[in-house]
Amino acid sequence: MKRQQGFTLIELVVVIIILGILAVTAAPKFINLQGDARVSALQGLKGPIQGANSLVYSKAALGSAEARAAAYWTGDATDANDALGGVDIGTGTKVKTNFGYLQSTADELNNAIDITLSNAESDASDWYIAEGASGVAAAVIYQAGSARFGNTTATSNRCYLTYTPATATAVPTYVITDDDC
């Protein structure tokens, strides 16, 4: 009786076909890892902003500053909070709030969440912000290298977090737009 020394050509072809099918099935799960990572990074940034806002609001409420608009912190008022430059959150720099929550400026967000957000793409930074007007309008925060980097049009390159500060009647909102991540 003759023993078989190896695999036949048909067996090898069947194995290659099976590996091809597995590769085609698994490939889509790994192709968009960069986009998934960008979305996760945005979600990872959203959490600290929400947490910081909760703490800032608590401190503002303790200091009776939760009802003050951003315009209050211009130096016109004479109470202790304004004389000290804002609400003390323990970072060494006072936070100027808008109805008790963070304003939509790079300075206020950097102070509260210990991150470096830059409002100029010419800076070497990991995160950038298109600040809201006077700290009270919505700000768009995006990552270096994301689709939005270098092109801030609203109809394309949509991979960012929109932070809308509080108003007299509404709490802040945090919306992740990840169409083009």
Structural domain includes residue 21: no
In a domain, 78, yes or no: yes
CA-closest candidate to residue 176, choices 38, 6, 22, 18: 38
Domain-located, residue 129: yes
Q: Which domain holds residue 68?
A: 32-177
The pair of three-digit structure tokens given for residue 146, joined into one six-digit string: 């994301």
**Within-domain flag for 3:** no
Residue with tokens 């315009």: 71
Is residue 160 in some structural domain? yes
Residue 79 maps to a domain? yes
- Average pLDDT over the chain, rounded to whole? 83
Look at the block and give the residue holding tokens 């950097």: 110
Structurally, the chain folds into a number of domains equal to 1
Summarised one tens digit per residue, pLDDT across range 159-180 is 899 999 999 899 999 999 988 8
Q: Is residue 18, in this structure, part of any structural domain at all?
A: no
Task: In whole angstroms, give the CA distance from residue 66 to residue 101.
Answer: 8
Q: Which of 71, 99, 155, 55 is nearest to 177 (CA)?
A: 155
For 95, phi then psi, to 5°, come to: -95, 130
Residue 170 maps to a domain: yes
What's this model's pTM, rounded to 2 decimal places? 0.77
Length of the chain: 181
In the structure, what pLDDT confidence band is assigned to residue 72 with cuts at 50, 70 and 90? low
- In the chain, what percentage of residues exceed pLDDT 70? 85
Q: What secondary structure letter does DSSP report for 1?
A: -
Q: Kindly report, residue by residue over 96-152, the tens digit of the pLDDT.
A: 888 989 999 999 999 999 888 998 888 888 899 998 888 889 999 999 888 776 666
The segment with the largest mean pLDDT, out of 62-66, 88-92, 106-110, is 106-110
Contact 146, 82 (CB under 8 A): no
Token duo for residue 166: 């509080």
